[in-house]
Chains A and B, each alone.
Chain A
């Protein structure tokens, strides 16, 4: 295309670098792993397979595992040098997501704990 194949291009997110057959294989493997993780999530939430207080932690772990499967097999994010920019952008996005969610939950939980005396008098 641009005639200079001495240069290793950055890889764009969402594109598989392998041969076409390997890509079909990677999508199929991703689908299988994602289905396994989904079924495991439903089983964990509906049975007593896990120690009940540990169920939310188990669900979060399974969700992160499945998100990882989607990123690697469907979005083809890898650790190669051609993926550095994509991974850096993703890492920054995850940092913001983490700050927003844990920050909100933490602050509001604190607020609720400190406002307990008022809540008793308030209509629910």
Chain B
């Protein structure tokens, strides 16, 4: 790795703050993707604000306390948490060029993410079949927009993960594949952070 020990180096030489020339591609790519993730979180903040404003407007329809099943929500949360963990371990294996271990961890990440998505979709289908679809009330419109947008992100993350596994198998763990993997794991961890907000604001506060 290019990261030097902190004791040996005067800190004012850190790159990106004027010292030592341009930063390596890896730093630039991940920083750019970090900016994208933050803009994605800002986009989610609009949906969170809409939900916070509309959560009381049930228009005589069902409330969150009547609709939400906290046992399922707990399982969903654990699926996402453990998939974040296996994603992190997979990223470590990839950095250490352990291709087979990476593939095992990627399979776990995909399985846990797919389990989350399956529970969420069956929850949505159950709500729609009970007449609590997004057109029922302002509360349900905001609910489906916010939780559905998170689910759409998880779906695109799963597609991206399949694509990354195909790249690792076809090309091996080359530097540009590793950079893409780094961006993927940033994305996947960020989805988990957004889920904490959904869990707290929508489910736990909606039922409490």
Q: Is the CB of A84 within 8 A of B15?
A: no
CB atoms of A101 and B2 under 8 A apart: no
Q: Are B15 and A9 in contact (CB under 8 A)?
A: yes
Q: When A and B form their complex, what is the total count of cross-chain residue pairs whose Cβ atoms lie within 8 Å?
A: 191
B15 near A104: Cβ-Cβ < 8 Å: no
A7 B81 Cβ-Cβ under 8 A: no
A12 in contact with B59 given A1-B2, A34-B81, A74-B189 (CB within 8 Å): no
The answer to whether A4 and B193 touch (CB under 8 A), given A12-B30, A97-B45, is no
Q: Which of A34, A42, A56 contacts B70 (CB 8 A)?
A: A42
Give the total of A residues in contact with B, Cβ under 8 Å: 62
Find out whether the CB atom of B186 lies under 8 angstroms from the CB atom of A14: yes
B41 touching A8 by the CB < 8 A rule?
no
**B1-30 interface code vs A (CB 8 A; 1 in, 0 out):** 111101001010111110111011011011
Judge whether A104 and B52 touch: CB under 8 Å: yes
Does A90 lie within 8 Å of B38, measured CB to CB?
yes
Instruction: Name which residue of chain A comes closest to B16, CB basis.
Output: A10
B contacts with A, residue count (CB < 8 A): 66
A14 touches B70 (CB 8 A): no
Residues of A within 8 A of B20 (CB): 4, 6-8
Across the interface, name the chain B residue whose C-beta is closest to A109: B53
**Distance between A17 CB and nearest chain B CB, rounded to angstroms:** 5
The dominant DSSP class at the B interface is: helix
Tell which of A12, A24, A75 has the most Cβ of chain B within 10 Å.
A12
Q: Which residues of A contact B60 (CB under 8 A)?
A: 124
Q: Are A96 and B45 in contact (CB under 8 A)?
A: yes
Whether B30 pairs with A13 at a CB distance below 8 angstroms is yes
Indicate whether B103 reaches chain A with its CB closer than 8 angstroms. no
One digit per residue, 1 when the CB lies within 8 angstroms of any chain B CB and 0 when it does not, for chain A 35-59 equals 1001001101110000000011001
CB-based closest 8 A-B pairs: A12-B30, A93-B38, A7-B20, A104-B49, A97-B45, A45-B204, A63-B200, A10-B16
Which B residues contact A (CB, under 8 angstroms)?
A: 1-4, 6, 9, 11, 13-17, 19-21, 23-24, 26-27, 29-31, 34-35, 38-39, 41-42, 45-46, 48-50, 52-53, 59-60, 70, 74, 77-78, 81-82, 84-85, 88-89, 91-92, 95-96, 182, 185-186, 189-190, 192-193, 196-197, 199-200, 204-205, 207-208
Contacts A38-B199, A86-B34 known; list 11 others, CB within 8 Å.
A4-B21, A8-B20, A17-B3, A23-B92, A27-B89, A45-B208, A62-B200, A67-B196, A81-B6, A82-B3, A104-B52
Binding site for B on A (CB under 8 A): 1-2, 4-17, 20, 23-24, 27-28, 30-31, 34-35, 38, 41-42, 44-46, 55-56, 59-60, 62-63, 66-67, 70-71, 74-75, 80-82, 84-86, 89-90, 92-93, 96-97, 100-101, 103-105, 108, 124
